[in-house]
A and B are shown apart, each in its own frame.
Chain A
Amino acid sequence: MSTLAIQTHASQTTRFEKNAATREPNWVKYLLLGISLSFFALFLLLPLIAVFTEALRKGLETYWLAFTDADALSSIALTLTAALISVPLNLVFGVAAAWAITKFEFRGKQILITFIDLPFSISPVIVGLSLVLVFGVHGWFGEWLVANDVKVIFALPGIVLATIFVTFPFVARELIPLMQAQGKEEEEAAIVLGAKGWQNFWYVTLPNIKWGLLYGVILCNARAMGEFGAVSVVSGHIRGETNTLPLHVEILYNEYNFSAAFAVASLLALLALLTLVIKSYVEHKISKRTNG
């Protein structure tokens, strides 16, 4: 929602700048502008261009081959599967948590809010390691899992668990301030009019939060597909089986197969750019709703 604040600020800044009494000297403006633009070019734009030029260095054919390779295809499939499982689960969790926090009073509310942020503050490697400690062969549930022939670590369940942990806060974080700002009045009005719990959610709450929810899901999905650290620990790097896209890039790179590595990396970069486009569209929708 921060971009939203920036958009509504625009008219204020123009007024502020047009007024000689409040205007800063020009050199301040251009100095700040220069610093931020060169920073952007050096640290964001340049690497992005590098990814695509490196990827296409050996021509379109090699570029294309990098994707149609069996290992690459399986890593794409795995990444999509992991995202497809973890994003809906986090969607349900996020809505439930935001609902609980904004509509009910209970002890430990502040603790829950703090814990939702935990994945943001903890290093992904630790997440992966803790999963190995709990579900690995020598972990807490290791014996039971081996006895029942369930594979978590070095298999899809481990990757999904790691992805869920890392992408846990996105939906809830997006919804909590939104639902807090909206208050309970519309829901109260609906109850007085005879709406039952699920009717209230479906017809009143959900339409009010749908753009915020979508925004959270987009961010959640982007992170789910791009996660490296936590997944790297639990995946075991088995080619064609437990390699996600980011892990596949690493392997190709370590094998000095630069053009293929960059080709696959460019796919991830394209995903990120697509996410940004959808995100700005959704933001545009949100700002229209709140201003209109």
Chain B
Amino acid sequence: MSINVKNIHKRFDEFTALDDISLDFPSGELVALLGPSGCGKTTLLRIIAGLEQADLGDIILDGENASNTHVRDRQVGFVFQHYALFKHMTIFDNVAFGLRMKPKAQRPSESKIREKVFSLLQLVQLDWLADRFPAQLSGGQRQRIALARALAVEPRVLLLDEPFGALDAKVRKELRRWLRKLHDELHITSIFVTHDQEEALEVADRVVLMDHGKVEQVGTPEAVYNHPQTPFVYSFLGSVNVFHGRAEQEHLQVGNEQLRHHNDSYGHAQDVFAFARPHELKIVENNHHEGVSARISRVLSFGIETKVELDGLNGTHYEVHLSQQQRQDQPLHIGQEVKLVPSALALFPKEIETLRLSEQQG
């Protein structure tokens, strides 16, 4: 089932949680709502579920306006960050709950319920836990039960609010892969909220990046990672180095130093932010004709890459990733004065960004 969100606004007192959000979630896709905490992603999810009411705007489920439909008639499945399992019920009763709450005319017989519950427990591979209570399960198991419980009523969409947020790193990874596999089997339209960029990029078909109640970018994981459209997306997805400077023709003037920016030529000078990923920076000798001066402060050489941390002249920090081969070719030591040369730079005009920054503060 498709979900369309149209011009949603939501305020909590003075705080704008959602500012004119319009999004389309096509049928059968697994979409991630990604953003820092307080960006409005959970509020949007709760509005789609009906657990929260938007101040303005509409939620269209399967072509029908559902803005005023009661939560229990929207046929959505919701998975909470902290599982929200019924503590006093066994796992079986938890999963059976939705079926047992149906009006008498629609309620399946107890034997049908039993069949359904066990097939769901097998789906989440936990049928051997049917008689236990939630407190006796691990976090990962509880979240799988929460998912089985949500699926029991055959929802048209599945909404997951930071489903792996309360789990430790190893279990998160496992469950991530498992959720993707499950979605490939069921093909139910799903939206999940996360603040973990790696999680969003690995699991989702499409990623919606949000910041301060606004949508910054929508696209496939490859598209948003490789072609960030806004400074926020650039800095949120992975580590990044920022240069403040003035772009003029083929060059970027940073303080007294010059860089080539590899973008289209600038006709007139403009103040910009310039972004470069850690692997897009080269470390060259101090006497090189171009580059930004920096001093090496740390060299971390474990794993397949070497991380070099550097301090700039005016208190800025840089991070450069080198392959082991590059590292061997180039002797580096702490305290060494070097220059940094980018192989690629993404430029964003400064006016827009400063305007946005002042908006956020105000």
Contact = CB atoms under 8 A, between A and B. Distances in A.
B102 A194 contact: yes
B88 to A, nearest CB: 4
A185 interface: yes
Q: Interface size class for chain A?
A: 10 to 19
A186 B71 contact: no
B348 interface: no
A99 B138 CA distance: 31
A25 interface: no
B300 interface: no
Contacts of A181: none
B72 A189 contact: no
A185 B153 CA distance: 18
A217 B66 CA distance: 43
A196 interface: yes
Contacts of B87: 186, 208
B140 interface: no
By secondary structure, the A interface counts as helix
A192 B78 contact: yes
A167 to B, nearest CB: 28
Nearest to A206: B88
Given A192-B76, A193-B149, A292-B135, A185 B84 contact: yes
B334 interface: no
A190 B135 CA distance: 18
Interface in A175-192: 185-186, 188-192
A186 B86 CA distance: 6
B78 A189 contact: yes
B97 A193 contact: yes
A192 B151 CA distance: 11
Contacts of A68: none
B23 interface: no
B80 interface: yes
A125 interface: no
A39 B17 CA distance: 58
Contact of B97 (A188, A190, A292): A190
B71 A189 contact: no
Given A185-B84, A192-B51, A207-B88, A199 B101 contact: yes
A247 B307 CA distance: 84
A213 B85 CA distance: 21
Most buried by A among B77, B82, B85, B87: B87
A269 interface: no
Given A188-B84, A203-B86, 13 more contacts: A185-B80, A186-B84, A186-B85, A186-B87, A191-B72, A192-B76, A192-B77, A192-B150, A193-B72, A194-B153, A196-B72, A203-B97, A208-B87
Interface of A: 185-186, 188-196, 199, 203-204, 207-208, 292
19 contacts: A185-B82, A186-B84, A186-B85, A188-B78, A189-B85, A189-B86, A189-B146, A191-B51, A192-B76, A193-B72, A193-B97, A193-B98, A193-B101, A194-B101, A194-B102, A203-B86, A204-B86, A207-B89, A292-B135
